[in-house]
Structures are given as C-alpha cells and as structure tokens.
Amino acid sequence: MVSRDRQRHRKNLFAEQRFDEYQPATSPILWDTAVHYIGSDSVLTTSEINNFNVNRSVTEGNLIQMPSVGTAVGIPFNVSGVSNLVLTTNQLCSIFSGKFKTWNEVHVAFPATSINVIFRSDSNCTTEIFTRHLASVCSIASGNSQITFPVTTRYSDVVATIPAADKYRFRGVDASYGMREAVAASTNVIGYLSPDFINLTLAPSSPAATTNLKAAALRNKNNNVVYAPTAANTATALGGLTLGSDLSRPDSWAPTAADPASGYPISGLTFLDHVQCYSNATVRNKILAFLDRHYTYSGVNDNTANIEGNGFAKLPTAIVDSIRKKLLDNVDGMNLNIGNATACSGKAGR
C-alpha cells in the first residue's frame, strides 16, 4: 500500500504498475515488485480507467475502485484573537476565492488584517474533495465568489484564476504535514486539511495530529445547521450516497457528495483501488483478510475505533453490504470479486 499524499500521480503509476516511483506507507520501507493496491481520496477518471483497460486488464482483470471510509476536509485557521470560527457558504467561498481581503470582512469583531490562504501546491486528493464542494456552491453570479472554481487536484489551478492583486495572499505548501506546520506557525491564516492532521479532538488516535490546530465549523446552507468536521457529521453528510447502476464499471463505485443536504458540507469518500486478479494466492488472501477486517463494524473484529479514532467515518450500510457481496464475495454471481476464478481464468494476475 502507499500513502494518501500525491495521489493523482500515484493512481497513474498504479495503472502502469510503476512500483519504483511510489511513496511507501511503511516505515521501514518494505519493498515488493508489485503495487497490490493504493489508497486515494480521488475518483478515478475516465482516462485512468481506459488506460488500465487497454494496458493491464488482459492480464490483471477488472480495475476495482472500492470505497474505503468517509472523510471531511476541515478548515484549520490561526487568527489573532479568534478562538472559534463559524463560516457560512458565502464566507467560505469569498475567503478561498480571494474576494474577502481582510478578516473583519468575515466578522466585524475580527482584526482588520489580511486573510492569508494556505493551499496545497502538490497534486492531492484533499484538494479534489475541497474544490468539488467549492465548484458546487460558489459562483460569480451568486456574488459569493470572484472566480469560477474548477474541480481539480491542484489548488494552483484555482490560484491561476484569482486576480493578480489578490494572489500574493495565497501561499502554497507541500503535503498534509506542510499544511499542518504552516497553519501552526503563521498568523491570520486559513487552509484546508483532513481531520487526522488537525487535532486530537477530531482524531484522538491519529499520530499526525501533532499541533492541535483549531478548525472552523461550517453552516450547511441546505438545512442551516452548523457542523464541525467530526466523524459523525461526515457520516451524516454521506448517508444518502448510492452506488451507480452498472457495478461492473469502476466509476459506479465512486459516488460524491459535493453539496450534502445535511452534515458537514465538505465531505467525500476515500478509496482503495485494486486489480481483480493476483498472481500470488498468498497476497490475494492477505488482501481479502485485510478488507474483511476493514469493513467489519461490529463484533470481535470491529474496526470502528480505528476508523473514527483517526477522524474518518464509516461507510453507509448499503455500500458496505455491496462491497462485501460483490467485491469480497460473489453472492449474486456477477464475478466482480477479487480473485474470482471465472474472471481471472487465463490471466497471469499482478
């Protein structure tokens, strides 16, 4: 497995089986000559799926995009004299589009100092979830934004559209730890980050929540309720997600929640991307054993504490049931599951 940073690049390498260029998630590094699966918050693109189908499916079977957990994108901030921050949709859009210049535009009691936005300069999937939300709720026509947000893994694509007079207030950093450290070390700044890097209140088990950052609560414009980026509020936002109609297609397994009816507004899924066929039965069985434990939400092997302890949310029950019945097992005979004998017949496997 590999870590969740720089994931758009990693997904392309996964499709090409470029194991030598991966950033490993293990320490010390445990290299193998095969990348068995990756973790990503980014939805596979049509191009990525087609690339795999053309170059790899004949030997490795189907490309499987499996929802893993839900995640919020929190809004960490460090503003002089401000201990609590609640943002409306309009305020969020105005800040991250550069329309608001100073903090007293957010609230008259806040300091009349520049709003400095810290963004991820690397290609990453936290940015994808974040900009998917911004693209859905921010617009020039509504008056809450001075730009049209693209859905992108690079926030530099957003900054490129911001007027030159405002760009100096936007500063790029590399990776989640870079965002964490920049917000902690600066003043009058705001950024975006997954809960496991923000604080131990949101993610009590996370080893990455080392700086105890403050995070804004967001008012959901659809029900006018204020939500913090907690696991429970993320689960609420994702509770209405449904899979696509053709589950033989990887894209049918990747529903999004750009503007949820309730719950924390900036929420999305993370994914585990697999091939269907593996050349080594021991590897395949270990992957299936891990996935069985990962998707167990009760009983002796309950994984809830690991998921929620790191600030993430369990999947909706219907999605978990589909994963178990169709991707881990073959209950309905669709032959989509990992290691399916029929689907993998004559294929060498990864």
Quick one: CATH architecture of 7-69+248-253+270-328?
Answer: 3-Layer(aba) Sandwich (3.40)
Q: In sequence order, what DSSP letters do the residues of 92-116 get, joined into one string? A: HHHHHTT---BGGGT-TTS-SSB-E
* Contact between residue 237 and residue 225 where contact means Cβ atoms under 8 Å apart: no
Superfamily of domain 74-228: Periplasmic binding protein-like II (3.40.190.10)
pLDDT attached to residue 346: 97
Is the pLDDT at 12 greater than 80? The verdict is: no
- Residue 67, phi then psi, degrees to nearest 5: -55, 140
Give the SS3 label for residue 243: coil
- Model confidence at 19: pLDDT above 70: no
pLDDT for 6 equals 47
Query: Would the CATH topology of 7-69+248-253+270-328 be identical to that of 74-228?
Result: yes
> What ranges make up the beta strands (E) of the chain?
37-40, 63-72, 76-78, 86-87, 116-120, 170-173, 189-190, 214-215, 217-220, 225-227, 267-275
Nearest-angstrom CA–CA distance, 125 and 256: 13
Strand order in the sheet with 214-215: 170-173, 116-120, 189-190, 76-78, 214-215
Digit-coded pLDDT (tens) for 102-112:
999 999 999 99
Give the pLDDT band (50/70/90) at residue 14.
Answer: low
Pairing status of strand 116-120 against strand 189-190? parallel
Over residues 277-288, the mean pLDDT reads 97
Whether the model pTM is above 0.75: yes
Give the total residue count for the chain: 350
**What does the alpha-carbon distance between residue 71 and residue 73 come to, in Å, rounded to a whole number?**
7
**What confidence score (pLDDT) does residue 18 get?**
52
Cα angle, residue 260 at apex, residues 158 and 123 outer, rounded to 5° = 30
Asked if the model's pLDDT at residue 76 lies above 90, the reply is yes
Please give the torsion angle defined by the CA atoms of residues 89, 95, 96 and 101, in that order, rounded to the nearest 10 degrees: 160
Contact present, 308 and 71 (Cβ < 8 Å): no
Task: State mean pLDDT over 325-347.
Answer: 98
Map out the domains of the chain as residue ranges. 7-69+248-253+270-328, 74-228
Q: What pLDDT does residue 177 have?
A: 97
Query: Taking the CB of residue 3, how many other CB atoms lie within 10 A of it?
Result: 16
Tens digits of residue pLDDT in 83-93: 999 999 999 99
Task: Tell me the CB-side half-sphere exposure of residue 259, using CA atoms within 13 A.
Answer: 10
pLDDT of residue 217: 98
Q: What is the mean pLDDT of the chain?
A: 93
What's the pLDDT tens digit per position in 248-274?
Answer: 999 999 999 999 999 999 999 999 999
State what percent of residues in the chain have pLDDT above 90: 89
pLDDT > 90? residue 141: yes
